[in-house]
Amino acid sequence: MDNWQSLQSKLIAAARANPPSDRVPYAFEKRVMALLAARSATEPLGLWVRGLWRAAVSCMAAALLLGAWAFFNPAASTKTDDLSQNFENTLLASVDQSDQVQ
Amino acid sequence: MERTEAELIAAVLQGDAASFEPLVQRYSPRVFATARRYARRESEIEDIAQEVWLKAFEKLKSFRGEAPFEHWLMRLTVRTCYDFLRGHQRNRESPFTDLTEPESDWLERYVALPETASENAEAAKLLVARILERLSPPARLVITLLEIEDRPVKEIARLTGWSVPLVKVRAFRARAEMRKILGKMAKDKYL
């Protein structure tokens, strides 16, 4: 145990005796600034893309919820027995009304 | 006249991105020195430093100016280095290699006469670098900060975002991990 402790101290001392260099590559700051500039140039497009993705996800979620509601709601399915008939009645409601007035 | 750090930060926050450049210039040596503790290849070190500065620019709004900018930046650097270690964990899962001849000689000298085995020996430096590379990311981070950089536990907690008890637990585990690795490398003949 003691052997290990002192060996560990020795190894840690070896690591301390060899501190890493703080050398910075040539023109590193210029590269960072260029990256930042490129990033801000693509930012408006990125905002649009993010916004559209969010809208697509929300629409999908709403469609799924409404689909599930329509599928699992028995009242809604028994109420309308003939969709084509109902559609035709709605479409021609104004014509029917004008016929009745005459 | 050279602008102060606070003036530069205020200018960046007001939309003058060019004012960020002097900050990059001033603090990059510290960022690079920290990154070199956790990565070996220059390309990886540069990637880490670049990421640190991109994050710093993005998150500059969160810098409240209560502590020096350097402390805030170092926190960001240490956390980026930790993310790097976690991301590259698989690369280090190569099979163990035995000690090289100089490493073995150094250990033998150490066992026979501990005071004659110099910590400045190249073999000792290589051995410790190899052990550090084999450590898990939290163990490597805590050994580097606590033992090699000799930072207090509270400061490590602040830098890493871990709680003080967690730092202590991880330090204990890291030492055990280090011993296990050295034992495997040396096949337990020196310990």
Query: Alpha-carbon distance A77 to A67, whole Å?
Result: 12
B114 alpha carbon, distance to own chain's centre: 28
B53 pLDDT band (50/70/90 cuts)? very high
> What percent of chain B clears pLDDT 90, i.e. is strictly above it?
60
pLDDT in tens, A40-66: 776 677 778 888 999 999 999 999 999
**Per-residue confidence (pLDDT) for residue B44, from 0 to 100:** 94
- Checking B145-148 for CB contacts under 8 A at 24+ apart, the result is B145/B78, B146/B171, B147/A12, B147/A15, B148/A12, B148/A15, B148/A16, B148/B37
- Domain positions in chain B are 5-88, 95-186
* Coil, helix or strand at residue B134: helix
Residue B93 has pLDDT above 70, yes or no: no
Cα–Cα distances in Å, from A68 out to A58, A64, A74?
A: 15, 6, 11
**Per-residue confidence (pLDDT) for residue B187, from 0 to 100:** 63
* Coil, helix or strand at residue A85: helix
Complex prediction ipTM: 0.78
Which of residues 32 through 71 in chain A touch B, CB cutoff 8 A? 32-33, 35-37, 39-40
Q: Report helix angle A28-72 to B20-38, nearest 10.
A: 80
Return the residue matching tokens 């270690």: B85
Is A36 close to B20, i.e. CB distance below 8 A?
yes
Is B32 close to A22, i.e. CB distance below 8 A?
yes
**Considering only CB atoms, which residues of chain B are within 8 Å of chain A?**
17-18, 20-21, 24-25, 28-30, 32-33, 36-37, 42, 46, 49-50, 53-54, 57, 107, 110-111, 114, 117, 119-121, 124-125, 127-129, 131-132, 143, 147-148, 150, 175, 178-179, 182, 190-191
pLDDT in tens, A62-101: 999 999 988 887 665 555 567 888 888 888 888 877 777 6
Cα–Cα distances in Å, from B36 out to A21, A92, B44, B118, B123?
A: 7, 78, 9, 23, 19
Is B191 close to A12, i.e. CB distance below 8 A?
no
What's the token pair of residue B22? Answer: 């002097």
- Indicate the CATH number for domain B95-186: 1.10.10.10
B46 pLDDT band (50/70/90 cuts)? very high
Nearest CA in chain A to B123: A14
**Per-residue confidence (pLDDT) for residue B191, from 0 to 100:** 55
Q: Which CATH architecture has domain B5-88?
A: Orthogonal Bundle (1.10)
Residues of A in contact with B43 (CB under 8 A): none
In this prediction, residues B150-159 reach a mean pLDDT of 95
Residue B92 has pLDDT above 90, yes or no: no
B147 pLDDT band (50/70/90 cuts)? very high
Q: How many CA atoms lie within 13 A of B177 on its CB side?
A: 19
